[in-house]
Chain A
């Protein structure tokens, strides 16, 4: 089934108040990002470096992954390789089974969402608790994240209050975020203390030293990993960077881009297991090496998952993350997903105004809006455009090719728009007119200039 962005976002947009609130909340984060970035003297230079490090690393990925594995093994870490999500889940399942684990605490990992790890483990009778507050909320609501950094950004505090009251018997009608956060803390403490294994995502893996770096604000990753004796870190293979010193660049950029903080509260470097503990790292491909083959689109692998492109995107802000139908929504999701399934996600590259704001805020300089534009062409070439688009574009193309025809059609258009009644203009084939009014026809003052256009 293809993702129908327009229909999926309709529900979200039709709740005008919520859509407006969502828009404002994300713009607030974007504004904080601007302030944080302006406090760094050489931000643009940092972006260049970040982009260069990532491009270098990704174009030599085999070398760095081998180096990472060798050094991690020297540190006493077990390394596993998973070709896809299924194999990743099987590996996690096997590790947990061999230790007879009943309860796993997880900190935020978009990769495990991508692999759908939770349902897999639950089927095996393992209790999985997401410990990031936002993730815990959506886990309890049986939902998926709608944002990669702010997973519960689509949920209002009243809804959180209701949820906690129902599940944890907290005070009904108390919508104070501080109160609610404290209740979650109390509940999660019990989970941390009763869990026997922990799993985290990975922000950066260092080839030179074999360590993995995890960035969080809540302290949940460190609590989980340190209380239990078995730690598992799942990483997409593009997370590896050559040297420790490169962390200087990325730790300065990640939180500033994501939430406007100068750095996350915890930037943890896991290098060796604790004395009686075991540490596992799973390197996951799941289509990434295939994406690397693409001549133009491979640079999307540079992404460090900060979410800045989502916070700034006028379409994402107004339509919500669930409209994209994939774990990673927003502009970056719209250029990652066509790699996975061009037909299924053919609607997403069109969910953009191509304003370019995503590319401007991207800390690793992925030219997101250009890639969106190029994906549209790929989709057209491969004949997977939805009919409404392919027919309309075909006609528009023909008209635009011929200046005389163009003039004629627009003359007709101007006249008909003026004289036809609304119920005919806003017909069911008029997609533009569904949520917008057609432009007002004014007397044109610069017709003379326009007449000359064809002559050059």
Chain B
């Protein structure tokens, strides 16, 4: 008998008299003041945010916010900032040290400030984690109320690796003192687009 068979056998014996039925729950999604709630949530997780209306503006914002970023990875073609040439790098350890990463978030969650990143689709999976500073660009019209809706929205999407990122990395492991900047990014800026990324439709877009 393999360990798998032994374990499953033992579970079967253990659960003979137990069968709790799973309740079917319907969620009422929160639709009110999502933008305000999201911004408040960002503040509470030590993330900063700015609102922009076109991509040309973002270059200026980024340059003034994070001046002299020598080593940068920009994954958004609409933003005219040149960074490391990823085609010449084979190993993520060669990115290091990485001053700044600019990535796109698919949508945001109002109740906690989380942003869904389809991390598996990035040129390299380390990009949002290895950098000192992280910029995430999101569509200000693409905010859901809570995690129930967030999982509904990502249902059926075939990602290989996806992450909710909520602010810069942090720790309170030394005497419960909050320190922003643990092993991941030490600063995070969220750029919120005033105009919808999806101009031609009013319906809810699955990113």
Q: Which residues of A contact B (CB under 8 A)?
A: 25, 28-29, 49, 52-53, 55-62, 65-66, 75, 81-83, 87, 131-134, 137, 150-153, 156-157, 160, 177-178, 180-182, 185, 188-189, 192-193, 217-220, 222-223, 225-227, 237, 242, 244-245, 247-249, 251-252, 259, 261-274, 283, 285, 289-290, 292-293, 295, 298
Contact = CB atoms under 8 A, between A and B. Distances in A.
Given A62-B15, A152-B174, A227-B130, 17 more contacts: A49-B25, A52-B20, A59-B15, A61-B15, A133-B183, A181-B181, A220-B183, A226-B126, A245-B148, A252-B146, A252-B148, A262-B41, A262-B44, A263-B113, A265-B170, A274-B120, A298-B18
Given A28-B176, A151-B173, A262-B111, A252 B181 contact: no
B182 A133 contact: yes
Contacts of A182: 181
Interface stretch (B52-60, B71-79, B160-168, B196-204): B160-168
A218 B147 contact: no
A268 B171 CA distance: 17
Contact of B183 (A53, A131, A259): A131
Nearest to B163: A268
Interface stretch (B62-70, B99-107, B150-158): B150-158
Determine chain B's interface SS by DSSP, over half rule: loop
A292 B119 CA distance: 37
Interface residues of B, number: 74
A264 B179 CA distance: 14
A133 B22 contact: no
Contacts of A285: 3, 7, 10
A293 B18 CA distance: 10
Interface in B1-40: 2-4, 6-8, 10-15, 17-23, 25, 27
A29 B172 CA distance: 11
A162 to B, nearest CB: 13
A196 to B, nearest CB: 10
Contacts of A82: 3
B19 A266 contact: no
Contact of A218 (B8, B146, B159, B170): B170
Contacts of B25: 49
Given A252-B146, A293-B14, A29 B160 contact: no
